[in-house]
Amino acid sequence: MTTRSIVLFSGGLDSILACAILAGQGLDVLAVMFTSPFFGTQTAERAEDEKRLMLKRYGIRVEILDITEDFLPVLLAPAHGYGRFLNPCVDCRILMLQKAARLLEVEGASFVATGEVMGQRRLTQRREVLALVERESGLDGRLLRPLSALKLAPTPMEKAGIVDRSRLFALHGRGRKEQMALASCLGIRCYPAPSGGCLLADAHISGKVRRVLDRWPDLDTNDLRLSPIGMHAFLPDGSWLVLGRNQKENDRIRGLARENDCVVSLTGGSGTIGLWKRIKDPGLCPSVASIVASRQGGSPGPTTVLFSGKVLCAVPVPSHHFDSSGLTMNTHNSMQRDLHHA
Ligand code: SF4
């Protein structure tokens, strides 16, 4: 019977290579991609297309699983701390590997593999951290890093001959040349360019999410999904207004509206959508209307604004009151920029 392995899959070249190396040794590979509001978001939005593409392009069978619920407590209080910004990378890796470990039995797989390259990332791919996440994920002896295996002690899978160590690699460091050469050897010609990937590793977005977390440590997954989107205004009654900057953000914001939230929009359905949450003072309606109306551009003037269907007229405030890093509204009539860059 063919041995099955689960590969932690990001969609990047390293994880594609890990899958190809194992498949090349005759193993049955199931790639698992974990998503949250901060990573894998676009893949999750077109999951079926992505799965078809991966199968067609690389012959890789991919499962896409949302881990937002489990990621929330990790983000709020990571046992191993944050990276440069709000990225709880060590705990995030442990969480993903724990999830993969639980899938082993379900999928009838023997071990988990990753596309990690020793020394590539300072925070998570140092030798001691690789050992730590293996231990804390409960995968001791069942975790293989095919790209850097020859830099690490042989695993039980290699000792048992399930995986041929002589056909594994000794990649190390931040360079990408060796991966590209390996891709060429394996016949992989088309692969994504390296990109930022995780939004939490972005200074600006991390700062925006941090302001939400600091205000509401009791936030739920719905709030978490909103936290990296659009522009944020924090109003004097403690309420929160999220504003879309384009159609895609408007659609996502609308999709995240819940029963007690107020969707603020302009008549005719054009322009910014605002989602007003945690409202304690409905008397702030005119101010909220002004904020939303001001985002439509054009010359200031009376504009009709809808509050979950109800009409209210507002005079837009000048758009220079805003910037995409967020803003704080301190009184009904005055606004201050909130430029806390992380
Ligand atoms: S960069 Fe983001 S996805 Fe990657 S380990 Fe860190 S928190 Fe997780």
Clarify whether residues 61 and 107 are in a common domain: yes
- The number of the ligand 1 atom at minimal distance from the alpha carbon of 200 is 2
Last residue of a domain, one of 153, 185, 217: 185
Query: Could you tell which of 8, 74, 89 is best to mutate to test the pocket of ligand 1, judged by most ligand atoms within 8 Å of the CB?
Result: 89
Q: Is the CB of 37 under 6 A from ligand 1?
A: no
Q: Is the CB of 198 under 6 A from ligand 1?
A: yes
Report CA(304)–ligand 1 centroid distance (Å). Answer: 42
- Each residue's pLDDT tens digit in the chain (342 positions)? 799 999 999 999 999 999 999 999 999 999 999 999 999 998 999 999 999 999 999 999 999 999 999 999 999 999 999 999 999 999 999 999 999 999 999 999 999 999 999 999 988 999 999 999 999 999 999 999 999 999 999 999 999 999 999 999 999 999 999 999 999 999 999 998 776 689 999 999 999 999 999 999 999 999 999 999 999 999 999 999 999 999 999 999 999 999 999 999 887 667 889 999 999 999 999 889 888 888 876 555 667 788 887 877 766 655 544 444 445 444 334 443 332 222
> Tell me: the pLDDT tens digits for 211-227?
999 999 999 999 999 99
- The number of the ligand 1 atom at minimal distance from the alpha carbon of 198 is 2
Give the integer Cα–Cα distance in Å for 42 and 54: 15
Q: What pLDDT score was predicted for residue 200?
A: 97
Q: Is the CB of 200 under 6 A from ligand 1?
A: yes
Last residue of a domain, one of 131, 153, 185: 185
Query: Could you tell which of 33, 38, 198 is best to mutate to test the pocket of ligand 1, judged by most ligand atoms within 8 Å of the CB?
Result: 198
Tell me the CATH number at 140: 3.40.50.620
Clarify whether residues 180 and 65 are in a common domain: yes
Closest protein CA for atom 5 of ligand 1: 89
Clarify whether residues 41 and 148 are in a common domain: yes
Clarify whether residues 149 and 220 are in a common domain: no
Give the integer Cα–Cα distance in Å for 143 and 166: 17
Q: Is the CB of 89 under 6 A from ligand 1?
A: yes
Clarify whether residues 156 and 26 are in a common domain: yes
Report CA(154)–ligand 1 centroid distance (Å). Answer: 27
DSSP secondary structure string, 222-289?
HHHHHTTSSEEEE-TTS-EEEE-SSHHHHHHHHHT--TT-EEEEEGGG-S--EEEES-S-GGGHHHHH
Query: Could you tell which of 36, 39, 93, 122 is best to mutate to test the pocket of ligand 1, judged by most ligand atoms within 8 Å of the CB?
Result: 39
- Lookup: tokens for 157: 């899978």
Side-by-side strand order, sheet with 274-277? 310-314, 303-307, 262-266, 274-277, 240-243, 231-234, 327-329, 335-337
Q: Is the CB of 87 under 6 A from ligand 1?
A: yes
**Would 190 be classed as within a structural domain?**
no
**Would 342 be classed as within a structural domain?**
no
Number of structural domains the chain divides into:
2
Report CA(88)–ligand 1 centroid distance (Å). Answer: 7
For residue 312, what are the β-bridge partners? 305
Give the integer Cα–Cα distance in Å for 223 and 37: 10
Report CA(254)–ligand 1 centroid distance (Å). Answer: 27
- Lookup: tokens for 225: 């999904």
CB 97 within 8 A of CB 8: yes
**Would 191 be classed as within a structural domain?**
no
Clarify whether residues 218 and 101 are in a common domain: no
Clarify whether residues 149 and 254 are in a common domain: no
- The number of the ligand 1 atom at minimal distance from the alpha carbon of 92 is 8
Report CA(87)–ligand 1 centroid distance (Å). Answer: 6
Report CA(102)–ligand 1 centroid distance (Å). Answer: 20
Report CA(198)–ligand 1 centroid distance (Å). Answer: 6
Clarify whether residues 151 and 221 are in a common domain: no
Closest protein CA for atom 6 of ligand 1: 89
**Would 293 be classed as within a structural domain?**
yes
- The number of the ligand 1 atom at minimal distance from the alpha carbon of 39 is 3
